[in-house]
Amino acid sequence: MTPFGYSRAQDVADAVRRGGEAGTMYLGGGTNLVDLMRETIERPTMLVDVTGLSRDITETPDGGLRIGAAARNTALAEDRRVRTRYPVLTRAIVAGASAQIRNMATVGGNLLQRTRCGYFYDDDGSRCNKRAPGQGCDAIEGFNRNHAILGASSACVAVHPSDMCVALAALDAVVHLESSAGPRVLRFTDFHRLPGDHPQIETMLQPGELITAIELPPLPFARRSTYRKVRDRSSYAFALVSVAAAIEIENGRVGAVRIALGGVAHKPWRASKAEAALRGQPANAASFAAAAEAELADARPLKDNGFKIALAKRAIVAVLETLA
Amino acid sequence: MAITINGDAVSVPDDPRVSLLDLLREDLRLTGTKKGCNQGACGACTVLVDGERILSCLALAVQYDGRAITTIEGLGAAGALHPLQQAFIEHDGFQCGYCTPGQICSAVAMVAEARRGVPSHVTGDLDAGAITLTHDELRERMSGNLCRCGAHNGIMAAIAETFAEAAE
């Protein structure tokens, strides 16, 4: 690691005052950032520890939940309100990492995980437009079994690694931010970016901006929701493909529906085309398959990951059949 | 500025780069906690912080000022083994032993998580309350601790026997 300073934020105002300085990064549980610093992929000169800021999970006036960004992943997964009202979120969290890592990792930090693309980590031997913008991407012609099939660019084919974020994308969550310019909110689905020409810029965060909370809207039909993750081993592995879904069925037809995919794109992928194809349709296997086809119609396989297209379609159908 | 480690107050390192793992092993010579991958993939460095299991390799020691750490040395000692240590011996829960301290620290906290109802990936009913540690639950909840020798069957047997009241 390159040398750095360390301080603890006393409150949000204190954090954003310090966080605006050049070379400064916010530190949550450290499960990703400390590793990246050890690999010298991240080289902050100052860390502002924000784990002492709000970790409260509270009811909002409209019947949703507000989650302080310093809440640990385990605390969110085990919260009884989350387990019963947003089971997809609990299921997604406990599908990720290991119990030790979930005990450390914060909710805010989970959003800012960087890709696990092997070429991104290979500082010595590979080209990567995230590590060194403009350098090129060795994944596009390389070993890309784990890489993106949707929304990729000629600059980057990496995928976002989070499970929790796939559930948040499906749940219409909102991200609360704070900077020296004041607070603002972003829809969760607008928080992460597709790679385009600048894959090193992964979110809409401004320099020094801090995630203070995630808000879940009241979504009564999300009581019927779940998360399915397909991976190379049955535990403690990143997703090849994952599906978060919530569905409302009235008189045998699909009412409201929310679907998001993980492991397929540079950001948690809200499956809007599948949702549009499903609304008002009979809640049966034929409708689910047609919706999956609609979502994956734009998929573009790389050399090694064509299997993800069929896998994603089948996973969508399987999850919807589970919920129906 | 102090971290409590197995009951003793220890100064926080001046250099914030020092991991909790290196503080334990290099500065305090508490070498029971092992450095396997040093990147959060193997679980050999698992310790308890206020009773919760974490990976000490990904923990900057400076973040743990004011917290209470328990390592394998704090759970048991020669002549006064923790019941789970004794069970590991009886069930051949190890060969080389490198993952063992992490396995044991992890299992102690794992049982506490199950008792308070923390769900896992294989939990059926998310609203059921306390968790019964079936074989599938044990394997899933211990998946963050790898054993390259392949002693997992002995490890599972040792944990199931020691915490029989929580296991099936």
Q: What average pLDDT is seen over chain A?
A: 98
The Cα of B8 is separated from the nearest Cα of chain A by a number of Å equal to 23
Q: Is the pLDDT of residue B1 over 90?
A: no
Interface test with B, best of A98, A223, A238 (most B CBs within 10 A): A98
Q: In what order do the strands lie in the sheet with A65-68?
A: A57-59, A65-68, A210-216, A174-179, A182-187
Same-domain check for residues B24 and B58: yes
CB of A168 less than 8 A from some CB of B:
no
Confidence of residue B165 (pLDDT cuts 50, 70, 90): confident
Residue that is last in its domain, among B54, B75, B96: B75
What pLDDT is recorded for position B168? 61
Q: Is the pLDDT of residue A90 over 90?
A: yes
Domain ranges of chain A: 5-51, 225-323
What's A132-182 look like in SS3? CCCCCCCCCCCCCCCCCCCCCCCCCCCCCCCCHHHHHHHCCCEEEEEECCE
- Look at A30 and B113 and tell me if their CB atoms are within 8 Å: no
Same-domain check for residues B55 and B90: no
For residues B112 and B53, is the Cβ–Cβ distance under 8 A? Answer: no
- Look at B126 and A91 and tell me if their CB atoms are within 8 Å: yes
The CATH architecture that domain A225-323 belongs to is 2-Layer Sandwich (3.30)
Q: Is the pLDDT of residue A162 over 80?
A: yes
CB of A244 less than 8 A from some CB of B:
no
Same-domain check for residues B64 and B125: no
- Look at A30 and B117 and tell me if their CB atoms are within 8 Å: no
Of A30, A94, A100, Cβ closest to residue B120: A94
Helices and strands per DSSP (H, E), number in chain B:
6, 5
C-alpha span between B110 and B53 (Å, rounded)? 8
For residues A86 and B128, is the Cβ–Cβ distance under 8 A? Answer: no
Residue that is last in its domain, among B75, B102, B124: B75
Interface test with A, best of B118, B136, B142 (most A CBs within 10 A): B118
Q: Which of residues 67-96 of A touch B (CB under 8 A)?
A: 74, 77-78, 80, 83-84, 87, 90-91, 94-95
List the single residue in A with minimal CA-CA distance to B139: A235
Q: Would you say residue B93 lies in a domain?
A: yes
* CA distances from residue A195 to A76, A139, A153, A240, A294 in whole angstroms, order as listed: 29, 14, 6, 19, 22
A76-87 pLDDT per residue, tens: 999 999 999 999
Q: Would you say residue B103 lies in a domain?
A: yes
Q: Is the pLDDT of residue B81 over 80?
A: yes
CB of B125 less than 8 A from some CB of A:
no
CB pairs under 8 A between A and B: 95
C-alpha span between B10 and B30 (Å, rounded)? 12
Same-domain check for residues B88 and B58: no
Same-domain check for residues B41 and B94: no
Same-domain check for residues B66 and B87: no
Of B58, B126, B144, Cβ closest to residue A30: B58
Complex ipTM value: 0.98
CB of A307 less than 8 A from some CB of B:
no
CATH fold for domain A5-51: 3.30.43
Residue that is last in its domain, among B58, B75, B92: B75
Same-domain check for residues B98 and B29: no
Same-domain check for residues B100 and B61: no
What pLDDT is recorded for position B164? 86
A185 CB contacts (<8 Å, ≥6 apart)? Answer: A174, A175, A176, A177, A215
Average pLDDT estimate for B140-149: 98
- Look at B62 and A6 and tell me if their CB atoms are within 8 Å: yes
Residue B154, domain CATH: 1.10.150.120
Check residues B165 and A292 and name the one with the higher pLDDT.
A292
Same-domain check for residues B50 and B107: no
- Look at B53 and A80 and tell me if their CB atoms are within 8 Å: no
A242-282 pLDDT per residue, tens: 999 999 999 999 999 999 999 999 999 999 999 999 999 99
Q: What range does the domain containing B97 cover?
A: 83-162
C-alpha span between B99 and B107 (Å, rounded)? 12
Q: Would you say residue B28 lies in a domain?
A: yes
Same-domain check for residues B66 and B112: no
Residue B66, domain CATH: 3.10.20.30
CB of A98 less than 8 A from some CB of B:
yes
Query: How many separate domains does chain B show?
Result: 2
A68-78 pLDDT per residue, tens: 999 999 999 99
Question: Which residues of chain B make contact with A95, given a CB cutoff of 8 A?
Answer: 121
C-alpha span between A108 and A213 (Å, rounded)? 7
For residues B14 and A9, is the Cβ–Cβ distance under 8 A? Answer: no
